[in-house]
Amino acid sequence: MERPKLNVEIPSDDYWLRQIKCQAACPVNTDARGYVRAIAASDFSAAYLTARAPNPLASICARVCGAPCESACRRGDIDEPVAIRALKRFVTERHGPEAWGTGAADPLDALSRTLAHAPDRECTAAEELSALPKTAGIADPVTRTGPKVAIIGSGPAGLAAAHDLALQGYRPTIFEMEPVPAGMLAVGIPEYRLPRDVIRGEVDVIRALGVEFVCDTQVGVDITLAEIRAQFAATLIAVGAKRSRMVSIPGSEGPGVFGGVEFLRDVALRDHGEDSTLRHLGRRVVVIGGGNVAFDVSRTVIRQVSYDISRSVLRQRTERGASVESVHLCCLESIDDMPADDVEILEGHEEGVMLRASLGPVSIDRNDDGSVRSVTFQKCLRVLDDQGRFAPQFDADDKTVIEADSVIWSVGQVPDLSFIDPDGDVRVTERGLIECDPDILTTTARDVFVAGDVAYGTKLLIDAVASGKSCARHIVEHLQGAPLVAATTHKHVEIPNFKREASYEKLPRTEIPAAPVEERRASQTASVESGFGVKEAVREASRCLDCGVNTIFDSEKCILCGGCADICPETCLELVSADRLVGDPEVAATLRAHFGPAELAEMSAIVKDEDACIRCGLCAVRCPTGAITMERLTFATKWAPGTAPAATEVRHDAGHE
């Protein structure tokens, strides 16, 4: 019987880069493997510098990043992924700006150390500080003479863009409508998840680069977009999605119905004014939505109960109404299909959120005086159709009524683009986003750029950071009138006497410590996760498979004895007949170069399953001819100015200097 064909790939530079799955999955190409292995070696300072190099918001991401690196982690194919985000928090708490305290260290010195560390790094990608074509901002932010750039919105995209522009000698000014910088980071993420001293620390570094923040200034009210464009050489719109999407059903208009984003803002700014959502929650709260923000809202409501109780009973009863008694979170999806992270669902359950899955809202029912009485739902049979499109199906005969005094929508967010003139040269799409070129983030106006949620819809925090950094480069290209071209060099370096930690492949994932439930419920500011200690961090980091290390085979030395396949604990190596190999044209060309068609069935080849390899090095030890070596991939990327297009024209009038 003919053996099945094997689809194989001839390794290329891109192939080796893709093996470092955590770095490949990160939108800013953070060398997670690099800082995790540095933690395993107890070099915590180097770990921080590695984590910070491509990411100006590393400390913030260490708390609230969606961690696509963890989802991609090869260790997860064996048991559970490495706790990469928690390990980043471990080093940022020790070496990041939140650890310095006011005036305890010079932020520019910290950035200089990050740059100085670059030559010692093994995997420096295009988003690294060292890859930038110019770093005048570190040397002396006061003497920067580049054009002025306006940034509307100080969320992650705006902060990242301002950071990189300042480092290249430009003069960014950020306009923020809230009284504090950082946009949704400061007013949309609960403090129990993201402490405000972490935000302040990251913002202080960017401010130290010479970036100007103009807060409490709403574009379209306090200043127009046209006025900004007249004063700056380029304008970046990075306003984020700061308005809750509301669903129109019977009873949805009227008192007692709020948006989740607006509620989180009121809590973050301690807004207890007459119009604040905090004054009108009532005893029974229903939150509608199934994502992380819905859990943020629900868990914040529960914490608000404790805040209310801590106030005087008289004031609570006369000014704020009775304390909340129940929080129901209702969503279309089943528990297995909810978009919220598993940890959010688990921690929400621990704190008292009552999850009601597979329910679709039909109406918000009201009393004769207009106040909310209950919410009627119908059973949701499925959310997506066979093609994966949103097309929920319901059983209209299966109704559920949940009593409520208030309802909070958390089913999505949209940007507020009311400041854009509908008759102007910046156009808005039917989706409510700004029309733009997704590759270079330019709008229909030459001097206006977009980044973050307003460019492509809501994604992860780290996606917004990547968008801001990318947009900064495109602004530089626009103002310089020439493209920036990235060049990457690769090489493999043999590791003599390669070895791993004892029993690293057997270690279970280290549980991330968390505060007791009652302590969490009692405060809006008490962090849920308490983070790793040194022993736990080093142990967890040692679980990393170190996917930058590869087994390199020298076919001239190999005698096809099969010893490597015999000793491999994961059976990821196999000797096969060469006629079983198929793949892209390069595979066929390689086989033709070595064998004639008649010889293939008589020739052998070694194939390797990269996903199964744990980089133990036993195959190299076993090889009697030295045909297998353990080698580390190293690469470095640099941006450099390219050739200017012939038709490029850049504005440099007096108002832009």
Q: Domain spans of the chain? A: 6-14+544-641, 145-242+415-483, 245-411
Comparing 95-109, 245-259, 593-607, which segment has the lowest mean pLDDT?
A: 95-109
Q: Sorting pLDDT into bands at 50, 70 and 90, what band is 325?
A: confident
Distance in angstroms (rounded) separating the CA atoms of residues 634 and 124: 8
pLDDT 10s digits, 199-230: 999 999 999 999 999 999 999 999 999 999 99
The percentage of residues in the chain with a pLDDT greater than 70, rounded to a whole number, is 91
Instruction: Please give the pLDDT value at position 323.
Output: 58
Instruction: Please give the pLDDT value at position 255.
Output: 94
Q: What is the mean pLDDT of residues 457-482?
A: 95
Comparing 50-64, 112-126, 316-330, 626-640, which segment has the lowest mean pLDDT?
A: 316-330
Same CATH fold, 145-242+415-483 and 6-14+544-641? no
Instruction: Please give the pLDDT value at position 313.
Output: 39
DSSP calls for 215-270: -S--BTTTB-HHHHHHH-SEEEE-----EE-----TT-SSTTEEEHHHHHHHHHTT
The percentage of residues in the chain with a pLDDT greater than 90, rounded to a whole number, is 76
Q: What is the mean pLDDT of residues 369-387?
A: 96
Q: What is the mean pLDDT of residues 278-298?
A: 93
CATH match for 245-411 among 3.40.50.150, 3.10.560.10, 3.30.390.50, 3.50.50.60: 3.50.50.60
pLDDT 10s digits, 538-569: 999 999 999 999 999 998 999 999 999 999 99
Instruction: Please give the pLDDT value at position 145.
Output: 78
Q: Which amino acid is residue 595, in one-letter code? A: F
Instruction: Give the chain's mean pLDDT.
Output: 90
Q: Could you tell me whether strands 581-583 and 6-8 are parallel, antiparallel, or unpaired per DSSP bridges?
A: parallel
pLDDT 10s digits, 146-168: 899 999 999 999 999 999 999 98
Instruction: Name which residue leads in pLDDT, 180 or 306.
Output: 180
pLDDT 10s digits, 570-607: 999 999 988 898 988 888 888 877 776 667 777 888 99
CATH match for 6-14+544-641 among 1.10.1740.10, 2.40.30.170, 3.30.70.20, 2.115.10.20: 3.30.70.20
Q: Sorting pLDDT into bands at 50, 70 and 90, what band is 653?
A: very low
Instruction: Please give the pLDDT value at position 510.
Output: 97
CATH 3.50.50.60: does it fit domain 145-242+415-483? yes
Q: How many CB atoms lie within 10 A of CB 645?
A: 11
Q: Which residues pair with 414 in a beta bridge?
A: 243
Long-range contacts for 71-80 (Cβ within 8 Å, ≥24 apart)? 71/25, 72/21, 72/22, 72/24, 72/25, 73/21, 73/22, 74/21, 74/545, 74/547, 74/611, 75/543, 75/544, 75/545, 77/611, 77/612, 78/505, 78/614, 79/508, 79/509, 80/508, 80/509
Distance in angstroms (rounded) separating the CA atoms of residues 66 and 131: 25
Instruction: Please give the pLDDT value at position 647.
Output: 38
Comparing 4-18, 131-145, 379-393, which segment has the lowest mean pLDDT?
A: 131-145
pLDDT over 60 at 655, yes or no: no
pLDDT 10s digits, 75-96: 999 999 999 999 999 999 999 9
Exposed e or buried b per residue across 258-283, where buried means at least 16 C-beta atoms within 10 angstroms of its C-beta: bbbbbbbbbbbeeeeeeebbbebbbe
CB 256 within 8 A of CB 405: yes
Instruction: Name which residue leads in pLDDT, 444 or 595.
Output: 444
Q: What is the mean pLDDT of residues 31-58?
A: 97
> What's the burial of 11, exposed, middle or buried (CB within 10 Å: 0-12/13-18/19+)?
middle
pLDDT over 50 at 56, yes or no: yes
Q: What is the mean pLDDT of residues 416-445?
A: 93
Q: Sorting pLDDT into bands at 50, 70 and 90, what band is 613?
A: very high
Q: How far does the chain reach from its first CA to its final CA, in angstroms?
A: 76
Q: Sorting pLDDT into bands at 50, 70 and 90, what band is 319?
A: very low
Q: What is the mean pLDDT of residues 609-622?
A: 95
Instruction: Please give the pLDDT value at position 273.
Output: 67
pLDDT over 60 at 648, yes or no: no
Question: Measured between alpha carbons, how far is residue 650 from residues 167, 183, 447, 496 in Å?
Answer: 21, 30, 9, 53
